[in-house]
Amino acid sequence: MTKASWKLSSVRPSLGSLRHSSAITPIVRAKFCSVHQNSTFNRHTLVFSSGQRPAPTLRSTGIAVFCRAASSMPVAESDRERLIQHLLVPAEKLTLLLELQRQTQQGSDLSDLATEHSICPSKKDGGMLGWVRKGQMVSEFQEAAFNAPLNKIIRVKTKFGWHLVQSLSEREAAFLQDIQPEELRTLLQDPGFLEEAQLVDVREPNEISIAAIEGFKAYPLSQFGQWGPQIAAVLDSSKDTYLLCHHGVRSLQAGQWLQTQGFRRLYNVAGGIHQYSLRADKDIPTY
């Protein structure tokens, strides 16, 4: 396998790391961005970093370096996204950065240099940030990431320090959007919909025993270590996938992780099963 293909195929960030990356949506980031004010993607999801982990709990570590604050972060501005890798050193270490850039020009791999020298938590993944879109990064980093030719390493300074940034690939952006309970109710009444769509409930078994929507299959977040690594074999990433939890937060987090696994069309049930019960099907109990 070539070095380039290794980089592309190895981007498998953990669900927990999503909160600290730039790939998260504004809704989720607003809930968690206060954790790491000094990191690049201040958000609870989109700049995904890391390999599979058994517990998808939100952590206070991870790629939190380049995202804008929740209060000012706009919806993604582009239907294109890029696979980004970077290295970060403190602002006062420009000499070190120039030396590292020289080493990349002589054939050194950015992954190895990031692992050894970067101060971003993504160092454990060779500096991989995952797939990101415009509007999810501070402006200087975004300009470098999206304006540079693919596979060209660019030097850029942000308020976090000096970066070496490389865009490895570009593709049409996946989407993750809300679906209202009433809309879902209408779709569920169509037998053809149940044959084509994938319905994912990320709540815990005790919750599902209290209230459930017919057709949804259980993928509890507490068991992420079991189903996460097998997700590509269990679900079809090309199909419309609908996500459900109690109030819509856990399912949104799961959806953002699924985007990093290649799922292209994701729908999060707004307000979760709680709002579905109140607004679409009162026969389903609340809890």
pLDDT tens figures, 133-164: 888 889 999 999 999 999 999 999 999 999 99
Q: Reply yes or no on whether the pLDDT at 42 is more than 80.
A: no
Q: Reply yes or no on whether the pLDDT at 51 is more than 80.
A: no
Residue 252 belongs to a domain: yes
Q: What is the mean pLDDT of residues 46-66?
A: 31
DSSP class of residue 40? B
The one catalytic residue among 33, 67, 120, 245: 245
Segment 165-180, tens digit of pLDDT = 999 999 887 789 999 9
* Shared domain check, 188 and 61: no
What is the radius of gyration, based on Cα positions, of the chain?
20
* Shared domain check, 200 and 161: no
SS3 call for 89: strand
* Shared domain check, 241 and 149: no
Segment 89-145, tens digit of pLDDT = 999 999 999 999 999 999 999 999 999 999 999 999 999 998 888 888 899 999 999
Residue-level pLDDT at 275: 98
Give residue 78's pLDDT band: very low, low, confident or very high (50, 70, 90). low
Q: What is the mean pLDDT of residues 206-214?
A: 98
pTM: 0.53
* Shared domain check, 88 and 22: yes
The helix, strand and coil proportions of the chain, stated in percent and rounded to the nearest 5, come to: 35, 20, 40
SS3 call for 65: strand
Domain boundary residue, one of 141, 172, 203: 172
Range of the domain at 256: 175-279
Q: Reply yes or no on whether the pLDDT at 19 is more than 50.
A: no
For all residues of the chain together, what is the average pLDDT?
A: 78
* Shared domain check, 155 and 100: yes
Distance of CA 118 to the CA centre of its chain: 21
Give residue 224's pLDDT band: very low, low, confident or very high (50, 70, 90). very high
Percent of the chain with pLDDT over 90: 63
CA separation for the pair 238, 62 (Å, rounded): 28
Domain boundary residue, one of 148, 172, 196: 172
Q: Is residue 258 a contact partner of residue 267, using CB atoms and an 8 Å limit?
A: no
Q: How many domains does the chain contain in total?
A: 2
What CATH number does residue 55 fall under?
3.10.50.40
What CATH number does residue 254 fall under?
3.40.250.10
* Shared domain check, 260 and 155: no
Length of the chain: 287
Residue-level pLDDT at 59: 27
Residue-level pLDDT at 132: 86
Q: Reply yes or no on whether the pLDDT at 185 is more than 60.
A: yes
Residue-level pLDDT at 40: 35
* Shared domain check, 116 and 208: no
Residue 287 belongs to a domain: no
Compute how many other C-beta atoms are within 10 angstroms of the C-beta atom of residue 254: 28
| Beta carbons within 8 Å of 155's beta carbon, 6+ residues apart | 97, 98, 101, 162, 163, 164, 165
Q: What is the DSSP string of 255-282?
A: HHHHHHTT--EEEEETTHHHHHHHHT-T
SS3 call for 154: strand
Question: Does residue 33 carry a catalytic annotation?
Answer: no
Residue 24 belongs to a domain: yes
* Shared domain check, 159 and 261: no
Residue-level pLDDT at 29: 35
Task: Give pairs for 88-96: CB < 8 Å, separation 24+.
Answer: 88/40, 88/118, 88/119, 88/120, 88/160, 88/161, 88/162, 88/163, 89/117, 89/118, 89/119, 89/161, 89/162, 90/119, 90/161, 90/162, 91/157, 91/161, 91/162, 93/161, 93/162, 94/162
* Shared domain check, 201 and 140: no
